[in-house]
Structure 1
């Protein structure tokens, strides 16, 4: 039996994608309140995180998985207001942050109950809304797929993005030597404050030369792609690993795989949204066990950029795509 708070509205405010295009296609609208299915919860959204996949979906390049809400928004924080059948952990009134299959740009959103996590002790809902998409992505790609170990040299590109700021902090917390690239000296200084031992201004320095001088990177996390791909391969130490999570400058490039074979390199990558409900639940459990204590202790924290009202989602996307932001952008919904 579904358990829910009384007096829930029948409709809700949302931001929808009117047609594929630029930020201006994000338009306020009204939708019927979703109902949690078996194993799901309904969240009254206080804040929703803004991420690159939202912009890709808006542009028509990243379709929601089957059955997911067509609304953008892959992470949110707020309070549980309804619980579907089969849900034992959560009850109406609980404060949570959650990885969503879609639908975060709305006053209410549903998700599998096992994709929700408690708001870390001492943290507000605005900060908690920045955790799921970014921390799920970093954990699975840096620590599970990338197998980062203490003492290894780790290079992350885009060090002041939401992914970058999270990867720097977590890698440092688990004992790795962290290197990061960024596009300005001010952004490089942010990377250093977060725990990078070396920040590389890619407009003034060659990250390949820097990493080769250090003995090569044991692991590289890249979301740039394009011309970075062959340079990443050359920047790896023998037996190094390259994990690709996005292609801001394109997915196609000419690459000499002989070097991959001779130096025993690993090239891998992943996207989060298409993974199974079970796989995401396992990542959530890992995060709660290994990372949530670091958040509660203040050893790791989301880096916040700017907050926009829900109906200004277009402005939030314009800021993200402008490339001047540092850390996470969120939408204030409640």
Structure 2
């Protein structure tokens, strides 16, 4: 079996309009399709899905680029095939196979399978995409629940000791949802106490260097290579949503590569929930309150997401917000003076 890339490959307009990373993915998928045609000519329909793309290190962004430039074409929702032609790349000669398939024959076989309802796992692909879409809507809740579970299993994070600052009057346990609200807020605080550890535990594959993954995590939060900065809470949500789309962890890339390639943008929560809590006296605690009572009184950069989550959990469990704000201000000032 062989694949022939024409000597004029680099001069093709579609190739010239594509980045080097996209060209590499195109060449990889051409050779992958060639191997499938050779090894299973009767069953391979010439297509592949995003799961297969990710298994070889590709991303949705590169697939879109190749589709726009005419090197990939969509064969269905989330299903693609490579474009081959003279001057670009063509499948070569094949030995020891039952029925050699040309690209045209592969396309014809694919169409027949679509009509018959067996288009190479299309139904399961749609199911996974529907599941991923539902997961994106629940990212924040999932992040809190997973963080709570992973903390119990690994002990990698610590719940802040709040017994010394608890007021004598406790919140009314009979109020509907009060216990559940507190537990969710506490889970959020634990998740953000060590955001990377939470994400690492949730990621489906733990091969590769954890140190490199942590560096890639920091770069993603700060923003890199034209990718906008994101919050740690958003990134945790993206990891959890992605993990739910992975059927076999063996096909997931190392976490460091997944982060550096910006694949987290595919499952990124659209927008974090705004912070808002009403006290019994009618006072509304929200981000505006936090800015006026905490952020405006501490050095820039000392008030972290973990502190914000801890403040949220404390207020939800009945601690006086003014008292908690003073504690955080003192902590930020101590941190800045070190």
TM-score (norm 1): 0.22
Structure with the larger strand share? 1
TM-score (norm 2): 0.22
